[in-house]
Amino acid sequence: MSLNIIHTSDWHLGKKLFKYSRVKEQIQFLDFLQEAINSNKCDVLIISGDIFDTPYPPSDAISIYLKFLYEITTKHNVKVFIISGNHDSGRFLETQKPFFDSQGITIRGHLDIKSASDLIVQVENNKGVSCSITLLPYFRSSDILSIGRTLYPDLLKEDDISESILLILESLFKEIANISAPDSFNILMGHHLFAGYEASGSEQGLSLSGIDQLPLSLVRGLFQYIALGHIHKFKIIQKESPTIIYSGSPIPFRFSENEQKKLAFIRINSKTNFDFTTIDIPSFKKLITLNCAFEELLLELEKIKNDLPVSDDDHFLYADIKFKDPVMGIPEVIKNELKSFPIKLIGYQARYHDENRTLSKFDHNNEVKLLTPKELFESYYFDKHPDSELIPKELLSDFIENLDEYLSLTKEKGVRL
Ligand SMILES: [Mn+2]
């Protein structure tokens, strides 16, 4: 009986991790989403911004996006609603609009409206259940001020831009709620921060010049569900009146993002009768961090090998290793240990114990000029490795060799060292 909605966002199609493509995982996600739409008899798919990672995405990212939209709208009779995020070019997203209209896909990339009603679409499924969806694309302060100039000139205060923006948004939201039928279940799509968010780090900073977050008071009593994008963690801002949800990104973009990824799933019976659950997204590829002291490296690698989930694709590994004395060639050791396992080392960080770090033997500002390159190297070495007694012979001879080579090259070019 219900009208079923899946809410997702922050696909960041085309995004790489270091230099590695994520398109394969993104295709796996889109296949999973298509199955979720089918098995949950989904009437509406909401995508709340950051479809792409860059304003002008690579062609493979555009291809998987259009193929997905074409398939779900032809096979599953689902209506799709898309807004831009801060990573998207709203103008670019809107280039496909003429084709999208005939497929039941509504897109709003830019907030250039002539009236509040331009943002609202009424949806009704084949069981007669309806809702009203407001598409608020990612906007900048200037977009709101420009709406203010045309629609609410009385609210503009030239000396207080932040206040004007809040007043204009307040009026816009109230007008939207008035236009939607009074008994209608009202959904607001947005890609801004609402009070109470918690960022996970891989989001690009957002600011409304003076207003970092939109206050909840702007939307209270006007909408029943707020479908947000931008934060990469799934996050419930509040459970009811209105329900405010960040669906989060479908795949982790950083090694530090290790929470369960989700789709939000809403079943509407009427304005006051609806339920909200989530659908877990499988982890298509693990981002594994190895964080240990050099002495524990082999043991920790054994653990990783033993716990590795079965996969037809390589998982990604980031190694962060602590040393007392520098050891060369660790990435090669790790790669070699893992070579017959589906895991790829894509990032490496060496750290040196620097508790009780002593001050440098040299006063850098005044003495650097007086040091020979070898003394300068020694100074740098003991600064970086304060617990070390001696510079390893191999490292020192490498340095001298490279220095000799450099000196001979610069001499040829007539450059004074
Ligand atoms: Mn964003």
Q: How many CB atoms lie within 10 A of CB 198?
A: 9
Query: Cα separation of 230 and 246, whole Å?
Result: 7
Domain CATH number, residue 330: 3.30.160.720
Closest CA to 149 of 134, 167, 173, 135: 167
Query: Cα separation of 130 and 146, whole Å?
Result: 32
Q: Do 320 and 372 lie in a common domain? A: no
Q: Do 289 and 155 lie in a common domain? A: no
The SS3 of residue 393 is: helix
DSSP 392: -
Residues 6+ apart with CB under 8 A from 273: none
- The pLDDT tens digits along the chain (417 residues) read 899 999 999 999 999 999 899 999 999 999 999 999 999 999 999 999 999 999 999 999 999 999 999 999 999 989 999 999 999 999 999 999 999 999 999 999 999 999 999 999 999 999 889 999 999 999 988 899 999 999 999 998 878 888 898 899 999 999 998 888 778 899 999 998 877 555 555 565 555 554 567 888 888 889 999 999 999 999 999 998 899 999 999 999 999 888 999 999 999 998 889 999 999 999 999 999 999 999 999 999 999 999 888 877 899 999 999 988 888 899 999 999 999 999 999 999 888 876 544 445 555 555 556 677 888 888 888 877 777 788 888 888 888 888 887 777 665 554 444
Q: Do 314 and 193 lie in a common domain? A: no
Q: Do 272 and 300 lie in a common domain? A: no
**Distance in Å, CA 77 to ligand 1 centroid:** 28
How many structural domains compose the chain?
Answer: 3
Q: Do 111 and 28 lie in a common domain? A: yes
Q: Do 248 and 307 lie in a common domain? A: no
Q: Which residue has the tokens 């450099």?
A: 406
Q: Do 301 and 364 lie in a common domain? A: no
**Distance in Å, CA 63 to ligand 1 centroid:** 21
The SS3 of residue 341 is: coil
**Distance in Å, CA 109 to ligand 1 centroid:** 13
**Distance in Å, CA 278 to ligand 1 centroid:** 21
**Distance in Å, CA 315 to ligand 1 centroid:** 25
**Distance in Å, CA 111 to ligand 1 centroid:** 16
Domain end point (choices 280, 308, 328): 280
Burial class (CB in 10 A: 0-12, 13-18, 19+), 326: middle
Q: Do 216 and 258 lie in a common domain? A: yes
**Distance in Å, CA 250 to ligand 1 centroid:** 13
Domain end point (choices 353, 372, 391): 353
DSSP 96: T
State the residue range of the domain holding 405.
359-417
pLDDT of residue 204: 53
pLDDT of residue 331: 93
**Distance in Å, CA 193 to ligand 1 centroid:** 9
Phi-psi region of 178 (alpha: psi -120 to 50; beta: other; left: phi over 0): alpha
Q: Do 291 and 173 lie in a common domain? A: no
Domain end point (choices 245, 280, 315): 280
**Distance in Å, CA 299 to ligand 1 centroid:** 39
**Distance in Å, CA 381 to ligand 1 centroid:** 42
pLDDT of residue 286: 92
Q: Do 39 and 122 lie in a common domain? A: yes
And the tokens for 192?
Answer: 């801004």
Query: 254 with 201: CB under 8 angstroms?
Result: yes
